[in-house]
Amino acid sequence: MSIHSSRRSEGSGRFLQVLRNLCVIGVSLLFLYGCSNGGASTSEAPGGGGPGGRGGRKGGGAGDVPVTVAVASQKDVPVEIQVIGNVEAYSTISVKAQVGGQLTTVSFHEGDYVKTGDLLFTVDPRPFQAALDQATANLAQNQAALGQAKANLARDTAQNKYTQANATRYAELFQGGVVSKDQSEQLGAAADASSQALAADQAAIESATANIGASRAAIDNARVQLGYTSIRSPIDGRTGNLSVKQGNVVMANSQELVTINQLEPIYVTFAVPEDQLPAIKRYMAERKLNVRAGPQDNPGDEESGVLTFIDNAVDMTTGTIKLKGTFANSDHKLWPGQFVRVTLRLTTQPNAIVVPNQAVQTGQNGSFVYVVKQDRTVEMRPVTTGARVDQDMVVEQGLQLGETVVTEGQLRLAPGSRVVVRDGRGASGGRSRS
């Protein structure tokens, strides 16, 4: 039994050793086959031996490079300048009291919209009403004095006529020896005094007339001062912070009561590079230039206006020139002091060639695009770009209408690479767009 068991154990051990050797040989054959097949794939990949072979290797050795493409189209493109600007009130008024006194009434609330002529404040009018009444009384007194002077003139004129006649008659009688010289001289002196009284009456009339003029001027001044006690809005606009509360005493022209900003219309001030000035002046001479302004976080919510002002000098520190656009602002979207995105449209470029922004790449020699040819290989084409319009870029030189350009997948491409076009969902198609 022991001899048979030993022989049986030896046979089992030899069988296991043979089985192990067969397994090792099988694994080695599989490894060699895999290496041989991988080398053949690399060398025999589509396009591997020609210009496309470089693209296949750059794409990871997978052959055709999947890309997304677009066709160069043609449309009218606006030529615009986009900058950041600042909203400025069309007019800003600092309201001050023109007479001193107690502020008895405030007729608005802070932040109210007011119209021209609306009552804002009232300063205690009683002292100014008293001054007006006094000036009116002085006028009446001077008018009475004028009437009295005129009456005196009339009386003295009649008296002078009588004394002059007597003096003449007595002088004739004295010449005839009828009366004495003394009597004749007395009547002559009375006639001279009567003439002087007339001159005095005339001077009194002139003085009374002058006093009346002064009284009327005093009345006008008193009325103006009384009118200043009612402080009214000089413009249509929105009130700001109230600086002085009701009941305080204000001094004339020394304290700001409130500031009013005119919001309709309104200015938007912005600066553009000085090299844009010739084009702006040229197009502005032809027509009014449109300006759009809107919040930076919401470009679609824009107001439209026109360019109305070009500064008379370039800022030498920044190399820019200041411009202003005027906006109706009827719905008050623009607010003084607000920063906004400003778009100044100069003109419209007709029939411009445009491609998506992402199609244009930048290299050491400038901008270029990958153009897909009929044989599904790509060409690296240098281009000259123009304005950027939304998601499109204007190509001024280097591209023709209808040519197909790569918009995604450029990093895996080289000149001559062979491509396969993906649709918008990332699936690959069998042929390129042309």
Inter-axis angle of helices 181-228 and 126-175, nearest 10: 170
Yes or no: say if 268 and 291 are a contact pair by the CB < 8 Å rule.
yes
Please write the tens of the pLDDT for every residue from 339-354.
999 999 998 888 899 9
Task: For residue 305, count CB atoms less than 10 angstroms from its CB and return exposed for 0-12, middle for 13-18, buried for 19 or more.
Answer: buried
CA-nearest of 132, 124, 311, 372 to 230 is: 124
Say how far residue 219 (Cα) sits from the centre of its chain.
47
Q: How many CB atoms lie within 10 A of CB 8?
A: 9
Please write the tens of the pLDDT for every residue from 352-378.
999 999 999 998 889 999 999 999 999
Q: Is the pLDDT score of 89 beyond 70?
A: yes
Q: For residue 273, which amino acid is it?
A: P
What is d(CA 308, CA 39) in angstroms, rounded to the nearest whole number? Answer: 72
Please write the tens of the pLDDT for every residue from 371-426.
999 999 999 999 999 878 778 899 999 999 999 999 999 999 999 999 998 865 44
Higher pLDDT, 160 or 64: 64
Q: Where are the alpha helices (DSSP H) in 76-125?
A: none
With cut-offs at 50, 70 and 90, classify the pLDDT of residue 49: very low
Angle CA 345–348–350, to nearest 5: 165
What is d(CA 281, CA 283) in angstroms, rounded to the nearest whole number? Answer: 6
Please report the pLDDT score of residue 42 as a whole number. 34
For the record, the structure tokens of 297 come out as 């976080």
CA-nearest of 254, 258, 248, 218 to 101 is: 248
The answer to pTM > 0.75 is no
What average pLDDT is seen over the chain? 83
Q: Where are the alpha helices (DSSP H) in 176-267?
A: 181-228
For the record, the structure tokens of 421 come out as 């076009």
Please write the tens of the pLDDT for every residue from 309-318.
999 999 999 9
